[in-house]
């Protein structure tokens, strides 16, 4: 039997067919998504045993495409993409809206359809077509040439977070920056693993899980397309909108019991501010990650919980950043901060953390103490030669405990350990700066151990991005008048 890994490798190898047709790596994955969607619908059945292909118009099926030759096939394919973008089926329409092929040579389309037909689809069905597609997304993200890492959170990190957060049937789970739906798919898988693939649930609850439990937003159209495909292949009917969470559209997202997300880093294009009428803390900042944290707090139901990946500057940035942290710790119990190691993201070497918090019942004093786990100091040089694994999170998961909301018994490991407790009063004395480290920082030594040029470049880019973000934040806080005044003083001094 052919493994999913082997099939993914074969699919990825087909991109070589397209190099002389001017198709980029990201365009290739999008192109492959169109074709795989059609083929996979012909291979998979829904929970009632009906072929999912039945949701397509009768005149647009994989078999009708694959049997054609030459320009007839290419013309049929172009017409197919155009018409499916107007399909009555909402999910089909979302995947094909504004779709157009980048293929210009009929021989290349024929090579793709023939090779896809020749794959071991029996093995693919046995292992799960959703797993196959996720493997393809991971391959795209790990290949530096594709530049797709910005949309991809490492699976071991996602799975560790989901295990700690324990999604439950009947809960609404939201990801306001869904990317390719990694968090939502993992939450769905966790629930299915604990409910015999939903068969232990009453039919009404199983319907809710398939149709209403998972919601979110993704701004980038092509990424949203990949997201919807991923959801469909895992038996999730839509739920993620192609909208900007920081715009008024984001206010309409359903309030959630659980939010799992890795929001985009950096500032809004053109320095634009969020346009949400309900934002008060971050209304005047172009810092996207700060604005996303405000959205997450506001989107949680009372008692709802969240796990959010954020860069270091969210922990220490002054002014708006400090106001946000103070507000967060008043409205929520920010019970845990996980300091992640560097080098774990494919496309960037930025320093990141995971914030774990629960929305309180009141708007004051919800945080009594914050536990910090330092997974960054004295850790391996993660990268291409030493990827992140599930085992790397074992000690943190044991320290965190079995209560998703941080209520399990915990033991402070002291200055020599990775796991420490800081009372709210101690954090207030630090001006609510949560960038807390006590172990000797061996990041320099770790980066010196990197050997792959791609890993070294990612580390350098990460440092440059972090420095640029600090400069942008400083410039934003002091304002243009202060910058001009400083320049005038410097010129006079010369």
Q: Return mean pLDDT, the chain.
A: 85
Tell me: pLDDT of 147 over 50: no
Give pLDDT tens digits for 94-104: 889 999 898 88
Instruction: For 433-447, write each residue's pLDDT tens digit.
Output: 999 999 986 555 555
Which band of pLDDT confidence, cut at 50, 70 and 90, is reported for residue 245? very high
Share of the chain above pLDDT 90, in %: 51
**Residues making up the chain, counted from first to last:** 494
Q: What is the DSSP string of 140-169?
A: HHH-GGG-GGGG---HHHHHHHHHHH---T
What's the pLDDT tens digit per position in 361-397? Answer: 888 999 999 999 999 998 887 877 788 899 999 999 9
pLDDT at 265: 77
% the chain with pLDDT above 70? 80
Q: Is the pLDDT of residue 66 over 60?
A: yes
Residue 431, pLDDT score: 96
**pLDDT score of 152 more than 80:** no
Burial 190-199 (b: 16+ CB within 10 A, else e): bbbeebeebe
Can you tell me the mean pLDDT for 64-88? 95
* pLDDT tens-place string over residues 258-286: 999 999 876 655 556 788 999 999 998 88
pLDDT at 145 over 60: no
490 pLDDT tier (thresholds 50, 70, 90): very low
Compute the distance between CA of residue 41 and CA of residue 34 in angstroms, rounded to an integer: 11
The predicted structure's pLDDT at residue 73: 96
When pLDDT is averaged across residues 404-430 and rounded to a whole number, the result is 97
- Quickly state the pLDDT bin for 32 (edges 50, 70, 90): confident
Q: H or E segment at 109?
A: helix 106-117
Over residues 445-466, the pLDDT tens digits come to 555 555 556 656 666 666 666 5
Predicted confidence at residue 404, as pLDDT, reads: 98
Least confident of 124-128, 189-193, 295-299, 369-373: 124-128
- Considering 161-170, 270-279, 341-350, the range whose residues carry the highest mean pLDDT is 161-170
Cα 454 from Cα 83, distance rounded (Å): 41
The predicted model gives 231-238 an average pLDDT of 86
Per DSSP, the residues of 299-343 read: HEEEEEEEEEEEETHHHH--THHHHHHHHHHHHEEEEEEEEPPTT
**Residue 27 pLDDT grade (very low, low, confident, very high; cuts 50, 70, 90):** confident
Q: What is the pLDDT of residue 113?
A: 92
Residue 210 CA to its chain's centroid (Å) = 20
* Ramachandran angles phi, psi of 444, nearest 5°: -60, -45
Q: What is the average per-residue pLDDT within 37-65?
A: 82
Helices 129-142 and 4-13: angle between axes, nearest 10 degrees: 50
Exposed (0-12), middle (13-18) or buried (19+): which is 3, by Cβ within 10 Å?
middle
């Amino acid at each position: 039997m052919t493994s999913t890994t082997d099939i993914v490798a074969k699919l990825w190898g087909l991109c070589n067919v397209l190099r002389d047709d001017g198709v980029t790596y990201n365009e290739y994955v999008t192109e492959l998504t169109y074709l795989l969607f059609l083929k996979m619908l012909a291979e998979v059945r829904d929970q009632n045993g009906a072929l999912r292909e039945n949701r397509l118009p009768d005149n647009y099926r994989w078999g009708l495409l694959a049997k054609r030759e030459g320009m007839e096939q290419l013309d049929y394919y172009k017409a197919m993409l155009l018409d499916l973008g107007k399909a009555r089926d909402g999910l089909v329409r979302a995947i094909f809206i504004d779709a157009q092929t980048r293929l210009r040579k009929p021989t290349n389309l024929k090579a793709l359809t023939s090779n896809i037909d020749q794959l071991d689809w029996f093995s693919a069905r046995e292992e799960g077509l959703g797993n196959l597609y996720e493997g393809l997304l991971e391959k795209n993200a790990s290949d530096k040439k594709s530049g797709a890492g910005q949309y991809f959170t490492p699976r071991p990190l996602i799975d560790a977070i989901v295990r700690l957060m324990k999604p439950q049937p009947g809960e609404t789970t939201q990801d306001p920056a869904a990317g390719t739906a990694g968090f939502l798919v993992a939450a769905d898988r966790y629930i299915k693993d604990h409910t015999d693939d939903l068969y232990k649930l009453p039919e009404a609850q199983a319907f809710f899980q398939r149709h209403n439990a998972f919601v979110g937003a993704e701004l980038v159209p092509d990424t949203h397309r990949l997201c919807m495909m991923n959801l469909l292949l895992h038996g999730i009917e839509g739920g993620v909108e192609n909208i900007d969470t920081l715009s008024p559209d984001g206010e309409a997202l359903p309030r959630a019991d659980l939010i799992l997300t890795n929001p985009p880093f950096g500032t809004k294009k053109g320095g634009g501010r969020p346009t949400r009428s309900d934002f008060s803390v971050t209304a005047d900042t172009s810092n996207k990650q700060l604005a996303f944290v405000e959205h997450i707090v506001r989107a949680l139901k009372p008692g709802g919980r969240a796990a959010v990946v954020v860069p270091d500057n969210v922990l220490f940035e002054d002014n708006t950043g400090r106001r946000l942290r103070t507000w967060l710790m008043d409205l929520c119990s920010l019970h845990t901060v996980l300091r992640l190691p560097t080098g774990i993201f494919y496309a960037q070497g930025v320093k990141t953390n995971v914030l774990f918090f629960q929305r309180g019942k009141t708007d004051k004093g919800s945080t009594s103490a914050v536990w910090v786990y330092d997974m960054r100091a004295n850790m391996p040089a993660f990268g291409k030669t030493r990827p992140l694994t599930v085992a790397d999170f074992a000690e943190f998961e044991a320290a965190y405990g079995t209560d998703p909301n941080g209520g399990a018994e915990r033991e402070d490991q002291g200055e020599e350990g990775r796991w420490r407790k800081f009372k709210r009063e101690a954090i207030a004395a630090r001006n609510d700066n949560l960038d807390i480290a006590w172990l000797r920082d061996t990041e320099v030594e770790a980066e010196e151990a990197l050997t792959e040029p791609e890993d070294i470049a990612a580390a350098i880019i990460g440092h440059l991005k972090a420095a640029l973000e600090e400069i942008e934040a400083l410039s934003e806080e002091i304002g243009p008048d202060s910058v001009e005044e400083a320049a005038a003083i410097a010129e006079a001094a010369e």
